[in-house]
Every structure is written in C-alpha cells, then in structure tokens.
Chains A and B, each alone.
Chain A
Amino acid sequence: MTTTTAIKGIKVKELTKKILNGDQIFILDVRNTGDFDDWKIEGENVHIINKPYFDLIDSLDPIMEQLPNDQPIYVICAKGGSSEFVAEQIAEAGYDHVYSIEGGMKAWSEHLEPIKIGDLTGGGAIHQFVRIGKGCLSYLIESNGEAAIIDAARMIEPYEQFISEHNLQLTHLLDTHLHADHISGGRMLAEKVGGEYHLPPKDADEVTYTYTKLEDGNEIKVGKAVIKAIYSPGHTIGSTSFIVDDQYLLTGDILFIDSIGRPDLAGKAEDWVADLRQTLYDRYKQLTDNLIVLPAHYMGINEMNKDGSVSEELGKLYKENHGLNIKDEIEFRKTVSENLPPQPNAYQEIREMNMGKIHPDLEEQREMEIGPNRCAVR
C-alpha cells in the first residue's frame, strides 16, 4: 500500500516527435468531458480515451478494462497536476510504463515544431512551424543569412532559437491579417530580435503602434528570396497572401487544405462574403496551379502530410477542396455565413491585444488562447 512508485514525466516535444513518427500512442485524458470534447490530442496512431480525474479518486475501476498492458500509458490533464495524480494510481496498480504529460494541454497548446518544407531557388529554405496543439502554422524564410517570419505565434523562443542556431539576421516580420485566434508574436520579435513589422493597413485602423504598411504588390527581399504581397480579402478586410520564391503561396486564413476561411470573426460576415468569393474564385484562380499552398491553420490530421507538415498544390485544391467548388453564389454565402462553428476562445480580446489596446499578463494570455483555432468553414 505504501510502496512508492516512480511515474515518469514526458515533455510535449518528445510526445510530438512520437506522434509525428506514427508511433502507437495510448493517451488517457483526465480533464472533464466538456473540455475533452472541445479540444484534444489527435494523431494518426493516437488512441485516446477520456475519464475525468474526479471519477478516479477512489478507484481506477471505471477505466481498468480500457488500459493496455502491452504499451505505455500517457496521462494528460489541463496543466499537469491531475495527470500526475492519476498516473501514480495507475503505476500503483502495477503498470510499468506510465507517463504524465508535463504541463498538460497548456504545454501541448504552446509547443512549436519546425519542419522544413523545401529549398529556395537562390539558396536557403522555407520552414513551417507547426503549433500542433492548436492547429496554427507559421513560416520562417531564410536566405543568404537573412530571415523573415510570417504569422509568428506568441511563443517566440522557438524562432529565436532557430535564428541563433542558423546564424540568421531577422529582417522582416509579416502578419497576413489581424489574428483573432492567437496572439501574434510579430511585434515582440521585432522589438526583441529586430526587423520590420508589417501588417495590412485595412486591418490596422485601430492599432496603437507604428508598423510598415503591407500593400498589394509589395516585394519584400529576404537575402536572395522575394516575398510578393497579394491583397486577398475575405477572412478580414485586409487579408494579404504571399508568394514566396514563385513556388509557395502563403494563404493565411483565406484558404486551407480541406476548408476555407470564415468571414465573421470581426463581426462583418455579410460584408466580407463577396470579398472571400472573389479572392477564392478569381484572384487565386489567376495564379499558377503548381504553387504550393501553405495555410496559417489546419483543422485535422487528415490535412497533414506524412512528415507532419501541411501543404498541397493549388491545382489539386481547386479539384478537391469543397470550398473552392461551390458554383452557386447563394449557396456559397450560406456555407460561409450560416451554421458556423463557435468562435475561437476570447477572440475579441485576442484582436484587441493584437491591436495593442490591452496588455494582459502572460497567464491571462495563455487562458485567452486555450482551445482550437476555429478559423475555418467546411
């Protein structure tokens, strides 16, 4: 009864590697069922069950039959306390490989995994930073010792680390639009590491800071690579896409792999539907089919490539993405303005923070970002 059992901790970075590697993973999520249904760990070979920790205080009986004997058991909760509590009980029941996921869903939500997408013609490369716990994607473009970051996440350390490891000078920070689902790290990086912060002026009416205006046709040089800005409204009135090295199309929250952007997060669904339609059915259509689309989000693991990256050829999306194949304008309007999923957690506060209007502390920022991104409609 009083034997001490040592349960192990596992960091989300390590867990992410295993998931992207396609390992068989068994996870017991002990948060309350409402939170679990809202947002959970997913992966190709992830088997996850939910039983709130408060149903396991007296005994493990409610889950005993579901626990595997032949593989590790990973336990997760909101912040890491309750998972440790439950993992200890499972270990005491005689299981050998029981892990508590350190920092819980909070840490899961904050982890960024850099994955190389491809090389650039003049040397250098483009990397996707996958925020696997929230489905957010940001990009780092490096060429000839310089770097630019697009749609940076709030956690700036992974970018800083990448920049110092690769001996790069950060010259530009770009946001495709004023984000409503996550806090932008663009300005923070510009202040701390250096570089110019760019934002589309039509999204920046109310911002409280100075920034460089991102206008249609702008060409931003990063070493030998060129980033071309294309005005592509619809998710927001300022939404701007980027063509990088004539190979990659960074679509922001306008076009995803298996869905399209929603026009309502700034309260203007009615006004912006026509813009969204024009961007998707006209502006993008004029671009070459072999551009590789790199979006700012993904919604499910079905959109993920084998290596964990998220990308697809534009031509293929025109064939396969439902949102690009709605012939009737009225039906399109209905799809993107009716029966929308719930809005992202705290999206108004997140917009205000990205405008520089409010300054919540770190703990409040974390709470604001809890949950999935919910920027798309299918």
Chain B
Amino acid sequence: MDVTKVLDAKGLACPLPIVRTKKAMDELQSGEVLEVQATDKGAKNDLTAWASSGGHELVSDKEENGVFTFYIKKS
C-alpha cells in the first residue's frame, strides 16, 4: 500500500487525533492513503465512525505496544 502521508497523533487526547486527521485528509487527493498513528484508546471507534460518515475507507488498522495505526483512503 502506498502511503501518501503519515500523521503522528501519538500522545494526543480526544478530539485532537480526529481534528488533525481531518485536516491532513483535506490536503490529500481522492484515492490517496493517510497513515495515522494514535495512542488514545477511543481513537479506533471514533476514526472508524468518522471515516464511514465521510465516505472514506478504513483500509486496515493494527495495534502494537499501545500504538494504533490506521490506513485511511480518501474518497
């Protein structure tokens, strides 16, 4: 998967991970992929819900040592 941009939202609490994700997405072109790294436990539910409400595709996600990584493809 080609990642166009990486957003480091580690250590940030709600709502910042999503606010930053949204800003980063605004700068991408349709079809490009954003990688988001976050440590907030609520991030997964919220990112999933946010992506689907905006029509973006959450391509995959993983958790390693308390860091969540999400790959989101812009609609």
Residues of A that sit less than 8 Å from B by CB:
32-35, 52-55, 57, 77-79, 81-82, 85, 367
**What separation, in Å, do the CA atoms of A85 and B15 have in the docked complex?**
7
In the complex, besides A54-B46, A57-B19, 20 extra interface pairs with C-beta distance below 8 angstroms are A32-B45, A32-B46, A32-B49, A32-B50, A33-B49, A34-B45, A35-B45, A53-B15, A54-B22, A54-B49, A54-B50, A55-B53, A57-B15, A78-B14, A79-B13, A79-B42, A81-B16, A82-B14, A82-B15, A367-B41
**What separation, in Å, do the CA atoms of A79 and B19 have in the docked complex?**
16
**What separation, in Å, do the CA atoms of A57 and B54 have in the docked complex?**
12
Pair B49/A52 contact, Cβ less than 8 Å: yes
Query: When the two chains form the complex, which single residue of B18, B42, B49 contacts A57, counting CB atoms closer than 8 Å?
Result: B18
Pair B53/A52 contact, Cβ less than 8 Å: yes
CB proximity of A34 to chain B, nearest CB, Å: 7
Pair A81/B46 contact, Cβ less than 8 Å: no
Residues of B that sit less than 8 Å from A by CB:
13-16, 18-19, 22, 41-42, 45-46, 49-50, 53
Cβ–Cβ < 8 Å partners of B41 in chain A? 367
Dominant SS among interface residues on chain B: helix
Cβ–Cβ < 8 Å partners of A53 in chain B? 14-15, 18
Q: Which chain B residue has the least Cβ–Cβ distance from A363? A: B41
Pair B42/A78 contact, Cβ less than 8 Å: yes
Cβ–Cβ < 8 Å partners of B22 in chain A? 54, 57
CB proximity of A79 to chain B, nearest CB, Å: 6
CB proximity of A345 to chain B, nearest CB, Å: 13
The 10 closest A-B pairs by CB, nearest first: A32-B49, A82-B15, A54-B50, A81-B14, A54-B18, A85-B15, A82-B14, A81-B13, A53-B15, A78-B42
Q: Which chain A residue has the least Cβ–Cβ distance from B52? A: A32
Cβ–Cβ < 8 Å partners of B19 in chain A? 54, 57, 85
CB proximity of A205 to chain B, nearest CB, Å: 33
CB proximity of A105 to chain B, nearest CB, Å: 11
20 cross-chain CB contacts under 8 A: A32-B46, A32-B50, A34-B49, A35-B45, A53-B14, A53-B15, A54-B15, A54-B18, A54-B22, A55-B53, A57-B18, A77-B15, A79-B13, A79-B42, A81-B13, A81-B14, A82-B14, A85-B15, A85-B19, A367-B41
